[in-house]
Structure 1
Amino acid sequence: MQEIASSLWRSAARTDTGKVRARNEDAFLALPEQGLWVVADGMGGHQNGALASRLIVEYLAEPSEGNLQQRLVELRKRLHGLNRRLGQELTVTAERPDTLIGSTVVALLVDGDRAACVWAGDSRCYLWRGSRLYQLSRDHSLRQQLIDEQQYSPEQAARHPSAHALTRAIGASEELQLDILELDVLPGDAFLLCSDGLYQGLSSDALGAALNLPSAHFALQRLFEQALDGPARDNLSAVVIRR
């Protein structure tokens, strides 16, 4: 577990292979001194998935200057650049047309009392505020698309054989679309960035109860204890951020 504090923000971050997978294709970044946190969940087989998630972390770890808007522009530029790079490498090196090098990404940028959440894929950003849990990100998955466009119930959509298929990710298509949500930060706010391996095994009540604990470290510890008590079929990664 990685726990870091800055003058304003405290965060704790951790990743785990889980109980079934042989390798971990997730990656995370926790830079509270820069007001930046990231979770990436790679796909495309062990080597390709791990490479894609690691490259996201490396691309975004380089410091960027300016206010929130300027840093947001730079972060988007880096992700679009990586999307092109993965697409080009895929074209040059792939021996099979179905080879994929890609990754989800969810990032949180903060500057003073403003924050921005940026994502592609089904890794999520949650906000714990005033004893309520809010899911800030909206999954880019077939399951969510069936709910939004076909009026499926969440239960019906979850039963679809391709429910977990992603509709967006870094490296998945030539044109990358990122979603961005900006918001004011209030005293007592806590954020959670996590891969689907973590949230799939936990209820909203369990997520909220963990984020209600007094420190990022304790919250993260509770989340992983509960997730690893379950099947933990996928890699799991999370970052908890508190003021």
Structure 2
Amino acid sequence: MEVANLLWHSAARTDTGKVRARNEDAFLDQPQRGLWVVADGMGGHQNGDLASRLIVESLGELDPAGSFEQRLERLRDCLHRLNRHLSLGLTVTSDNPDMLVGSTVVALLAAGSRMACVWAGDSRCYLLRGRQLYQLSRDHSLLQQLVDERGMSIEEAMRQPAAHALTRAIGAAEELQLDILELESLPGDVFLLCSDGLYQDLDHDQLGAALIRPSASLALQRLFELALDGPARDNLSAVVINR
């Protein structure tokens, strides 16, 4: 269902996809509070769905009062607390890494025209502005690290072993590093938060063309049509936010 407040209209959806037995993604869609989240439980780990659900439920319970800076600090503190909680398993299950519980997260916080994108992992935040699509987040993955640090092309990096392994996630290490990007939104901006299951088989032009649709609901519908027409090997989740 599409929900609106004075500035924002948003729509959200998740799907198990065509291959996975269960959905380890979760999302939060709170336009009235200016908060949206996508979390992707770490694939292959037991209880990844519990980790992603814990993240969105905890962020959804944050106090929406106060200044933008105070709200952003509460969001950061919440993610650090959850990381400490989930990463406790590292010490008791170090002999069995398949028992680890973790999740990516990408969150978008809004107050008036002020925005902040906060993320760890490879779930993404995009911005469509003036028919131009920008990827605001940068993946925390081995693939991206090979591109950045070794100068490989995307094609070369994808041929490396474990190229899609995450270098950051909630619960993956005792110390959590979050990336935060702050920006000013403009009328007509469209934001997309999504898990890698949605974008992995869609190119940049397909994403942009879907987001040009006249409403968040129609854009979301088109994104899922495109993704589910493909192999849909992973769970897929997306939140589309229009100003």
Give your verdict on TM over 0.5. Answer: yes
Q: 2:16: which partner in 1? A: 17
Q: Deviations over 1:175-200 (max 9, x none)?
A: 00000000010010000000000000
Q: 1:63: which partner in 2? A: 62
Q: 1:4: which partner in 2? A: 3
How far did residue 46 of structure 1 move?
6.1
Q: Cα gap change, 1:48/1:159 in structure 2, threshold over 3 Å: closer, same or farther?
A: same
Determine if the alignment matches structure 1 residue 226 to structure 2 residue 207: no
Is the Cα–Cα contact under 8 Å of residues 38 and 106 in structure 2 kept in the other structure? yes
Aligned mates of 2:115, 2:15 — CA distance in 1 = 27
- What is the Cα-based RMSD across aligned positions, in Å? 1.3
SS of residue in 1 equivalent to 2:116: strand
Identity percentage of aligned residues:
73
Is the Cα–Cα contact under 8 Å of residues 23 and 46 in structure 1 kept in the other structure? no
Is the Cα–Cα contact under 8 Å of residues 35 and 111 in structure 1 kept in the other structure? yes
How far did residue 89 of structure 1 move?
4.4
Q: 2:137: which partner in 1? A: 137
Aligned mates of 2:152, 2:90 — CA distance in 1 = 35
Q: 2:146: which partner in 1? A: 146
Aligned mates of 1:4, 1:172 — CA distance in 2 = 34
Q: 2:35: which partner in 1? A: 36
Q: Cα gap change, 1:73/1:95 in structure 2, threshold over 3 Å: closer, same or farther?
A: closer
Q: 1:81: which partner in 2? A: 81
How far did residue 3 of structure 1 move?
2.3
Structural mapping, 1:146-225, within 5 Å: 146-225=146-225
Aligned mates of 2:213, 2:28 — CA distance in 1 = 22
Q: 1:235: which partner in 2? A: 235
Aligned mates of 1:163, 1:96 — CA distance in 2 = 23
- Where does the alignment leave 5 or more consecutive residues of structure 2 unmatched? none
TM-score, reference length from structure 1: 0.96
How far did residue 160 of structure 1 move?
1.4
Moved more, 215-224 or 36-45: 36-45
Is the Cα–Cα contact under 8 Å of residues 25 and 52 in structure 2 kept in the other structure? yes
Q: Deviations over 1:103-145 (max 9, x none)?
A: 0000000001110000000000000001100000000000000
TM-score, reference length from structure 2: 0.96
Aligned mates of 1:96, 1:106 — CA distance in 2 = 29
Counterpart amino acid of 1:8?
L
Is the Cα–Cα contact under 8 Å of residues 24 and 46 in structure 1 kept in the other structure? no
Is the Cα–Cα contact under 8 Å of residues 62 and 75 in structure 2 kept in the other structure? no
Aligned mates of 2:121, 2:144 — CA distance in 1 = 11
Is the Cα–Cα contact under 8 Å of residues 26 and 53 in structure 1 kept in the other structure? yes
Report the number of matched residues: 241
Moved more, 227-236 or 64-73: 64-73
How far did residue 47 of structure 1 move?
4.2
Aligned mates of 2:7, 2:195 — CA distance in 1 = 25
SS of residue in 2 equivalent to 1:33: helix
Name segments (4+ residues, structure 1) moved above 4 Å.
none
How far did residue 96 of structure 1 move?
4.0
Aligned mates of 1:109, 1:232 — CA distance in 2 = 29
Is the Cα–Cα contact under 8 Å of residues 39 and 55 in structure 2 kept in the other structure? yes
